[in-house]
């Protein structure tokens, strides 16, 4: 794994590559002058706001410990900032800035009425007790309370954070805001000067058509204070259902990844069925050279083989959906190492085994049993280099580097983690004809259902899981289609195409 790569520099390299195509682009965006394009580029090279916080937490032994945290609000041209919160010992400013930038791109690729942000706390949550974790989560929510809200910035889970943590954070946020709302309601009921009673958190109207949400900034308080307080639940997504979460959010990133993968594989399939389709030879070389023999496999005469790095929220759900759709997942890993199970992992048994042991090692669960004879341990590097059809990094960034890219044997890489491939590795993979389905497209299912959750909270609705998944599938197919068509048009990779789609949409706002 690469140690010294600045993910924000990688993100900017991706941006600059895409902007060359935006400048050359032959579409309505070209009505903008080169100066306007330069201005947007300059704007996208830095976040709009960086919040640095130090969070005091009383530990179980009575001592006080300070934790460093960040909230980076990158771009809100298309709507309120949106992005997860990561708890990890390696969190740093460059990483959070990169993740916030990618969120801006991702929301635009998925055509959501949201901008991009990200948060992080430097901590190894495994070293904290449940009480310490709750106090840290509440402390972080307090420290950023002034800059978040349904129309400002909407956080969500990321690495090492989950629905329970979002529940603590939303509870803390609402506790802070409730006092303010009730005070303003009381003032309003006494008919005092209305200008003194406009709420800090105003409620945005929600559009699902990709237009920027219109804040009713400065509106005077009217209606039920409780209804307003309830709408503040929209400040956090990825919550448990009991706290106002959406059906399907927990597994949305994995399910969205499956929909994107199937949509891209189907594009290759229809191209194979229609040999006269006008796809340039360079694009074919860049995106399907090594996929060629597999095109005939798309009717699944044999299961495509998959290796997945990471077995957390995203990795586990990805494996679950792949297996239920006939893929053969033969290797998975967690932070402690990987397992190779050639007959195909059973996701539920593997998860149960990992929960029992605390790690994946030895969990060779296939069919209906876990048995040591069914697999072998492998390192992260060995997993990345397995001869599989599809490789899925679903853990951390910068794991596919210029050192291991030449040794990767997969034909398709589905980037479920954010930023798993360095720019140098990306070049090598493109030259080798390996199709990379980029993170800003591949893992956009999570933020898409987060957007649905935000919308449900604001409208006071609760959609069925069937409804959520149907809308998710549609969104993912449309996003995959837009990126595919742009790649075809510009004769470039899916990653550059995704950035072109995103930058053009941001410019149009
Ligand atoms: P998680 O904390 O639930 O799981 C992370 C997994 O990665 C764990 O299994 C952990 O053991 C493993 N891991 C950590 N270090 C590793 C290493 N060096 N090698 C191999 N495995 C390692 O986090 P998650 O929510 O599943 O997020 C995973 C990735 O997906 C991150 O890059 C995150 O930004 C991205 N992502 C998450 C979501 C979401 O909805 N959770 C949405 C979009 C993108």
Which of 442, 443, 450 minimizes the C-alpha distance to 468? Answer: 450
Dist. CA 396 → ligand 1 center (Å): 6
Residue of 99, 318, 396, 440 to mutate, ligand 1, most atoms within 8 A of C-beta: 396
Q: Whose CA is nearest to atom 4 of ligand 1?
A: 312
Distance 416 CA to ligand 1 centre (A): 9
| CA–CA dist 434, 298 (Å, integer) | 17
Closest CA to 375 of 441, 431, 459, 307: 307
For ligand 1, say whether the CB of 394 is within 6 Å of any of its atoms: yes
Which of 165, 256, 335 to mutate to test ligand 1, by most ligand atoms within 8 A of the CB atom?
Answer: 335
Higher pLDDT among residues 241 and 289, named by residue? 241
Mutate to test the pocket of ligand 1, among 11, 114, 124, 314 (most ligand atoms within 8 A of CB): 314
Tokens for 211, please give them.
Answer: 């237009």
Instruction: Determine what percent of the chain is predicted with pLDDT higher than 70.
Output: 84
Residue nearest to atom 22 of ligand 1 (CA): 335
Residue of 70, 74, 71 lying closest to 12 (CA atoms): 74
Using the CB atoms, write b or e for 408-440: b if 16+ within 10 Å.
Answer: bebbbbbbbbbbbbbbbbbebbbebbbbbbbbb
**Ligand 1 mean position to 107 CA, how many Å?**
19
Ligand 1 within 6 A of CB of 448: no
Residues 6+ apart with CB under 8 A from 474: none
Of the chain, the percentage scoring pLDDT greater than 90 comes to 71
Lowest model confidence (mean pLDDT) among 52-61, 97-106, 288-297: 288-297
Cβ of 160 closer than 6 Å to ligand 1, yes or no, is yes
- Spacing, Cα 312 to ligand 1 middle (Å): 6
CA of 319 to the centre of ligand 1 (A): 13
Q: Is the CB of 129 under 6 A from ligand 1?
A: no
Q: Which of 97, 118, 320, 471 is catalytic?
A: 118
Tell me: the pLDDT tens digits for 287-342?
A: 444 443 333 345 545 678 999 999 999 999 999 999 988 899 999 999 999 999 99
> Is the CB of residue 315 below 6 angstroms from any atom belonging to ligand 1?
yes
Atom of ligand 1 nearest to the CA of 338: 20
Q: Are strands 435-437 and 412-414 parallel, antiparallel or unpaired?
A: parallel
- Token pair of 299 as six digits: 């009717």
Q: Is the pLDDT of residue 199 over 60?
A: no
The residue nearest atom 37 of ligand 1, judged by CA position, is 158
Strand spans (E) along 2-63: 49-58
Nearest residue (CA) to ligand 1, atom 16: 335
Closest CA to 497 of 38, 36, 19: 19
CA distance 450 to 5: 30
Distance CA 465, CA 167 (A): 20
User: What is the C-alpha to C-alpha distance for residues 348 and 371, in angstroms, rounded to an integer?
Assistant: 14
Q: pLDDT tens-digit profile of 396-438?
A: 889 999 999 999 999 999 999 999 999 999 999 999 999 999 9
Q: Which residue spans within 2-145 are E strands per DSSP?
A: 49-58, 64-75, 81-88, 116-122
pTM above threshold 0.75: yes
20 φ, ψ (degrees, to nearest 5): -55, -40
267 is catalytic: no
Phi, psi at 87, each rounded to 5°: -110, 110
In short, whether 311's Cβ falls inside 6 Å of ligand 1 is yes
């Amino acid at each position: 794994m690469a140690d010294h790569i600045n993910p924000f520099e990688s993100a900017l390299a991706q941006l600059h590559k895409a902007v060359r195509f935006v400048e050359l682009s032959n579409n309505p965006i070209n009505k903008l002058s080169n100066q306007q394009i330069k201005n947007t580029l300059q704007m996208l090279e830095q976040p709009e706001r960086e919040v640095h916080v130090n969070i005091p937490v009383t530990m179980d032994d009575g001592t006080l410990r300070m934790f460093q945290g960040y909230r980076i609000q990158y771009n809100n041209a298309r709507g309120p900032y949106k992005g997860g919160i990561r708890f990890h010992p390696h969190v740093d400013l460059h990483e959070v800035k990169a993740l916030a930038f990618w969120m801006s791109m991702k929301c635009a690729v998925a055509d959501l009425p949201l901008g991009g942000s990200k948060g992080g706390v430097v901590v190894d949550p495994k070293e904290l007790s449940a009480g310490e974790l709750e106090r840290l989560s509440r402390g972080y929510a307090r420290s950023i309370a002034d800059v978040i809200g349904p129309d400002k910035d909407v956080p969500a889970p990321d690495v090492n954070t989950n629905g329970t943590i979002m529940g603590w954070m939303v509870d803390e946020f609402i506790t802070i805001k409730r006092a303010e709302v009730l005070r303003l309601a009381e003032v309003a009921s006494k008919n005092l000067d209305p200008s003194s009673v406009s709420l800090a958190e105003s409620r945005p109207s929600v559009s699902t058509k990709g237009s920027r949400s219109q804040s009713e900034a400065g509106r005077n308080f009217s209606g039920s204070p409780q209804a307003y307080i309830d709408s503040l639940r929209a400040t956090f997504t990825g919550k448990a259902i009991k706290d106002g979460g959406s059906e399907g959010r927990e597994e949305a990133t994995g399910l969205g990844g499956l929909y994107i993968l199937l949509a891209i594989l189907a594009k290759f399939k229809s191209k194979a069925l229609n040999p006269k389709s006008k796809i340039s030879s360079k694009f074919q070389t860049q995106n399907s050279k090594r996929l060629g023999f597999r095109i005939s496999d798309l009717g699944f005469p044999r299961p495509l083989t998959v290796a997945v790095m990471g077995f957390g929220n995203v990795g586990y759900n990805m494996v679950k959906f792949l297996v239920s759709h006939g893929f053969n997942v033969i290797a998975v890993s967690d932070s402690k190492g990987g397992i190779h199970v050639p007959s195909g992992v059973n996701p539920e048994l593997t998860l149960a085994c990992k929960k029992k042991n605390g790690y994946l090692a030895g969990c060779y669960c296939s069919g209906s049993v876990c048995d040591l004879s069914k697999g072998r341990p492998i390192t992260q590097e060995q997993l990345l280099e397995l001869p599989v059809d599809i490789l899925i990094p679903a853990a951390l960034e910068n794991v596919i580097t210029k050192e291991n890219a030449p040794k990767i044997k997969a034909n398709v890489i589905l980037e479920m983690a954010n930023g798993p491939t360095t720019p140098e590795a990306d070049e090598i993979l493109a030259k080798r004809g390996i199709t990379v389905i980029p993170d800003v497209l591949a893992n956009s299912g999570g933020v898409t259902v987060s957007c649905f959750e935000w919308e449900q909270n604001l409208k006071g609705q609760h959609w069925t899981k069937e409804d959520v998944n149907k809308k998710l599938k549609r969104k993912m197919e449309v996003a995959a289609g837009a990126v595919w068509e742009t790649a075809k048009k510009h004769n470039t990779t899916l990653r550059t195409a995704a950035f072109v789609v995103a930058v053009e949409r941001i410019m149009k706002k």
